[in-house]
């Protein structure tokens, strides 16, 4: 049997911020439990925190960039997908200005992702049309 790895982390569901310990075997999460030394939850978890991780290993996960052609998605490389997006967004910015672009940021992603998201929107697209699901 392979060794079980324990990783200290923070729950990604509601805003409570419970400390969790993720137990991993063979690159698969096998258990999630509350971290007793976490200041917020002191070891407790709710059903989402303890059992809501199975989506991570789901077969339904997206695994490749997809480009829609004639109403159908086809797989592409990162290079092709990003070049395509770059062309489209540059054209929109040139023809209509940055204000014709919007970004829906993600209130479940990390601070680091959110910092880069707004930096991209402001520095690259020249737009302040950035908002998230924070309001709902």
Let me know: does 85 contact 76? Beta carbons within 8 Å: no
User: Distance between CA 18 and CA 34 in Å, rounded?
Assistant: 7
4 in contact with another protein (CB under 8 A): no
Question: Within 10 Å of residue 123's Cβ, how many Cβ atoms?
Answer: 9
- Show the binding pattern over residues 82-121: x = contacts another protein (CB under 8 A), - = does not: xxxxx-xxx-x--xx-xxxxxxxxxxxxxxxxxxxxxxx-
- Residue 81 pairs in a beta bridge with none
Q: With contact defined as beta carbons under 8 Å apart, do 19 and 34 qualify?
A: yes
In the region spanning residues 66 to 85, those forming contacts with another protein, defined by CB under 8 A, are 66-68, 73, 78, 81-85
Residue 9 within binding range of another protein, rule CB under 8 A: yes
**Closest CB to another protein among residues 1, 78:** 78
Residues 15-54 within binding reach of another protein (CB under 8 A): 15-19, 22, 24, 27-29, 37-41, 44-49, 51-54
């Amino acid at each position: 049997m392979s060794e079980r790895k324990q990783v200290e982390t923070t729950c990604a569901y509601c805003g409570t911020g419970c400390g969790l310990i993720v137990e991993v075997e063979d690159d698969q999460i096998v258990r999630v439990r509350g971290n007793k030394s976490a200041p917020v939850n002191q070891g407790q978890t709710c059903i989402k925190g303890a059992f809501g991780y199975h989506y991570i290993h789901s077969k339904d996960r997206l695994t490749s960039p997809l480009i829609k052609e004639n109403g159908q998605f086809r797989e592409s490389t990162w290079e092709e997908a990003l070049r395509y997006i770059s062309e489209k967004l540059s054209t929109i910015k040139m023809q209509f200005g940055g204000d014709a672009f919007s970004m829906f940021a993600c209130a479940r992603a990390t601070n680091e992702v959110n910092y880069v998201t707004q930096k991209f929107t402001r520095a690259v697209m020249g737009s302040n049309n950035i908002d998230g699901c924070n309001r709902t």
